Amino acid sequence: MQYTKPLAKLIEYFQKLPSIGPKSAQRMALHLLKMPGGEVEKFADAMIEAKNTIKYCEICFNMSSQSPCEICSSTKRDKETICVVAETKDLMAIEKTNEYNGVYHVLQGLISPMDGIGAEEIRIKELLKRVHENDVKEVILALSPSVEGEATSMYLSRLLKPFGIKVSRIAFGLPLGSELEYADELTLIRALEGRRAM
């Protein structure tokens, strides 16, 4: 079918968003057309404002409207512990637990030779510089248990050890609320390896 032109264009843009197919894009566009005109304008303004004001923090490379970001400039955060994550969304996931009080370092990617991403392409040298120039006691690697996450973790741990600091990695195992019988083998292997004395 032919969408009327301005609608077709809007649907096309919604489809550029992650995991949005043609059906969801159409639903969103039609929903938008039913919103009051003022709301649509504010939504559009919010997009442009966020894009124009949000930059990367010069210390940890978190996305923020200020640099250093809110976390790096907070006096309440423990600057001696750095949690290394791949992306800002991982940082957000950890912040939501309200349990971590250290600072972060966002690598902006993972080493992935298959995609042509080497150690130079991500923020590794900036991390080493931070550890070198500041009084850091522990680096926690919070990278996904994927091939790229494993490789990046191994690589980082080798580079960080010579600094004589504690380098740890988050635990992998059964997610809470899951059933052991449905866990995949790799998760079970990790859960067994990571067993702790009670």
92 binds its own copies (CB under 8 A): yes
The answer to whether the beta carbons of residues 82 and 104 sit under 8 Å apart is yes
Residues 48-67: x/- map of binding to its own copies (CB under 8 A)? Answer: xxxxxxx--------xxxx-
Does 43 participate in binding its own copies (rule CB under 8 A)?
A: yes
Size of the site for its own copies (CB under 8 A): 56
How far is it, in rounded angstroms, from Cα 134 to Cα 89?
25
What does residue 127 show for φ and ψ, rounded to 5 degrees? -65, -45
Contact flag: residue 73 with its own copies (CB under 8 A): no
The residue range among 41-49, 114-122, 129-137, 185-193 that interacts with its own copies, by the rule CB under 8 A, is: 41-49
Residues contacting 16, CB < 8 A, separation 6+: none
Binding mask 179-198 for its own copies (x = CB under 8 A): --------------------
**DSSP bridge pairs for 85:** 106
With beta carbons less than 8 A apart as the criterion, state whether 125 and 118 touch. Answer: no
Instruction: Compute CA distances 171 → 150, 188, 190, whole Å.
Output: 13, 12, 9
The footprint of its own copies (CB under 8 A) covers: 1-7, 9-10, 12-13, 16-20, 24, 26-33, 35, 37, 39-54, 63-66, 69-70, 87-89, 92, 95-96, 98
